[in-house]
Structure 1
Amino acid sequence: MSELVTGDAVVLGLRPAKLPSRALALAIDLAVVGAVFVLVSIGLALATASLDDAAFAAVSVAAFLLVLVGGPIAVETLSHGRSLGKLACGLRVVRDDGGPIRFRHALVRGAMGVVEILMTFGVVACIASLVSARGRRLGDVFAGTLVVRERVPAGRAAAVPPPPPWLVGRFAGLDLSAVPDSLWLAVRQYLTRMHQLDAQVGRSMAERLAGELAERTGVPVPAGVPAGAYLAAVVNERQARDARKVFGAARDEAARGGFEGAAGQPVGGVPVKGAGTWAPVAAVPPAGAGGAGAPVPPAGADGGQVPPAATGFAPPA
């Protein structure tokens, strides 16, 4: 697993590609480029049969640069780091910070590839990839890029740690409508991986994310509340609101008589005495004390309240 940490905390799970997968992807790319170069060379030989040797040599050099050098550069630039071989092997070229590459990155990689791949038959690239801890060749080092695996085995999604009990429900009045999905994703990924980060890196990342979240909501972070605990409490508040929306929709459907059987007979209700009708039963308890509208502290394995130490956060002194 890569140790890269970006500003938006979305590339913490990058997996650098190793030599075997990169060599297979390169072999596929070279086979395709070589076939194209042979076809172009045959076409140029037929079209320039009347030229002298100097002109034919110039055309051959131009074809070499256009197909074997310019072709991979153009493909990586237009596909944002996914050539045909890399696409087949589930690889992709990205910047050191996890972002998509641009033309200058592909140009440096292509220029260095002429030396370490074409001129040395890949020996230099293999040695550099074996020496590098992240499997980078010289072109990646000079271009500031990294080849990563896009297709990785699907694992169990890490759960967001619950907030400390002394913060549950504290941000019930916070306006979260202006918070973009990208920021929610960054906060969630930080919370699920905060115990894997270096203490100083994790603290600075939490403070930056808390500042961005406070800027979007228009309410500053409360004094004395750690940034990580603040993020967990706000995420918990958003999850509680989403749950109330779902329960509210189910309750409204039940109130409109939505629980009817296929034969038109209502189900899930209770008969009303003297009325000859059925009254639907509410799907969830109404909001209020102990209802869906009240903040629910996180529960432990035995059904009791989670102690502060189990959440990963501690109350301020």
Structure 2
Amino acid sequence: MSELVTGEAVALELRPAKLPSRALAVLLDLVVAFVAYMVVTVGVVAATASLDEAAQTALSIALFVLLLVGGPIAVETLSHGRSLGKMACGLRVVRDDGGPIRFRHALVRGLIGVIEILMTLGVVAVIASLVSARGRRLGDVFAGTLVVRERVPLARTGFVPPPPPWLAGRFSELDLSAVPDGLWLAVRQYLTRMQQLDPQVSWSMAERLSADVAARTGAPAPQGVPPAAYLAAVLQERRAREARRAFGNGVAGSADGRRAAEGRAAGVYGPPVMPPAAAPTPPAPAAYGGGAAQTEGQHGDQVEGERSATGFVPPA
């Protein structure tokens, strides 16, 4: 099984698609493409009967490239990895890190697919899928993609805890372009499994991953923020950007769902790690006992109010 996360910001444990289901999806796509090609060709030939034979041949080649090569590329790009055959079989093409594919991924898969599927009748694709541990054909290897099953039992779904509410919006201006896909996948898998690990092992892994992310973004975790919470906040920001890029701004969940997720996050990450407290100030003279006690009480109420508002203890 390969634990991945889809581009819709939903953490799932997805299985790589098996060869029979992939072959059936490709067969359905080819049938649809050939039917469309034949219908369009008949219409174009009837409309261009006055042209010479060379022009008709060039037009037929152009239609072949457009419908049987460009068509699947366009469909996979616009549907984020779900062609008609894959939708029928419950499959989807994702990146190696689980994110949605883009035009360059679909272009590489489509161009190499002409050689390993159309020109060799699928023989090369079948051999490559049988050799690959995750059933990837050559197009997937060069494009950095993977075909996975979308229809999995609910019991197999994973849960990546969202960041604590006191970290909301802290990393909206962060540059995440230098973080490689492999590091994102490692962060997602750690956040999914961190509650199953020994606390010391979990903490050391979080520190190492947060240091790697900070080295590539140039923004280390703020003081007092646990490394796991920092990773969750940065990951959520990245997934939010992916979702906005793929589906627009209408991808936010309901208010009740967000509040429930924040409640679960508070139980997972706990309160922020406070910096070491400053040395206590010496007590005031006895002559100022009453006033000092009142001032200390007011200061304590102010500190407590600021802590509840921001999650951090203000400096002394």
Do the two structures share a fold, i.e. TM-score over 0.5? yes
Aligned to 1:238: 266
Q: Distance in 2 between matches of 1:159 and 1:145?
A: 23
Change (3 A) 1:221 1:91: same
Measure how far apart 1:235 and its partner are: 7.8
8 A contact 1:11–1:98 mirrored in 2:
no
8 A contact 2:13–2:158 mirrored in 1:
no
Letter in 2 for 1:101: I
What is the aligned counterpart of 1:178 among 144, 150, 167? 167
Q: Distance in 2 between matches of 1:177 and 1:83?
A: 40
Change (3 A) 1:118 1:207: same
Aligned to 1:133: 133
Correspondence list, 1:54-73, <5 A: 54-73=54-73
Residue segments in structure 2 that go unaligned for 5+ positions in a row = 173-185, 233-261, 269-316
Aligned to 2:112: 112
Measure how far apart 1:190 and its partner are: 3.7
Correspondence list, 1:141-160, <5 A: 141-155=141-155
Measure how far apart 1:47 and its partner are: 1.1
Change (3 A) 1:178 1:136: same
Pair member with larger Rg: 1
Measure how far apart 1:55 and its partner are: 0.5
8 A contact 1:179–1:217 mirrored in 2:
no
Measure how far apart 1:179 and its partner are: 3.0
The answer to whether 1:41 aligns with 2:44 is no
Q: Distance in 1 between matches of 2:159 and 2:141?
A: 36
Letter in 2 for 1:122: G
The answer to whether 1:14 aligns with 2:14 is yes
SS of the residue aligned with 1:13?
A: strand
Aligned to 1:85: 85
Q: Distance in 2 between matches of 1:189 and 1:180?
A: 23
Measure how far apart 1:3 and its partner are: 5.8
Q: Distance in 2 between matches of 1:44 and 1:237?
A: 59
Q: Distance in 2 between matches of 1:66 and 1:159?
A: 42
Q: Distance in 2 between matches of 1:10 and 1:209?
A: 21
**Cα RMSD after superposing both structures:** 4.5
Correspondence list, 1:197-208, <5 A: 203-205=204-206, 207-208=208-209
8 A contact 1:128–1:135 mirrored in 2:
yes
Change (3 A) 1:111 1:200: farther
Measure how far apart 1:36 and its partner are: 0.3
Change (3 A) 1:37 1:200: farther
Aligned to 2:224: 220
Q: Distance in 1 between matches of 2:34 and 2:121?
A: 13
Q: Distance in 2 between matches of 1:70 and 1:237?
A: 44
SS of the residue aligned with 2:154?
A: coil
Q: Distance in 2 between matches of 1:20 and 1:182?
A: 43
Letter in 2 for 1:238: A
Change (3 A) 1:187 1:66: closer
SS of the residue aligned with 1:100?
A: coil
Change (3 A) 1:237 1:115: closer
Q: Whose helix fraction is larger, Structure 1's or Structure 2's?
A: 2
Measure how far apart 1:203 and its partner are: 4.1
8 A contact 1:16–1:146 mirrored in 2:
yes
Q: Distance in 1 between matches of 2:159 and 2:106?
A: 38
> Once the two structures are aligned, what percentage of the paired residues are identical?
64
Larger RCO of the pair (alpha carbons < 8 Å, separation 6+): 2
Q: Distance in 1 between matches of 2:267 and 2:19?
A: 42
SS of the residue aligned with 2:94?
A: strand
Measure how far apart 1:13 and its partner are: 2.3
Q: Figure out how many residues of one structure are paired with residues of the other and give that number.
A: 217
Deviations 1:50-81 (A, max 9, x none): 11111111000000001000000000111111
Q: Distance in 2 between matches of 1:42 and 1:72?
A: 21
Q: Distance in 2 between matches of 1:153 and 1:202?
A: 31
Measure how far apart 1:4 and its partner are: 6.2
Q: Distance in 2 between matches of 1:101 and 1:18?
A: 20
Aligned to 2:76: 76
Measure how far apart 1:218 and its partner are: 5.1
Residue segments in structure 1 that go unaligned for 5+ positions in a row = 162-174, 241-317
Aligned to 1:29: 29
Measure how far apart 1:120 and its partner are: 1.0
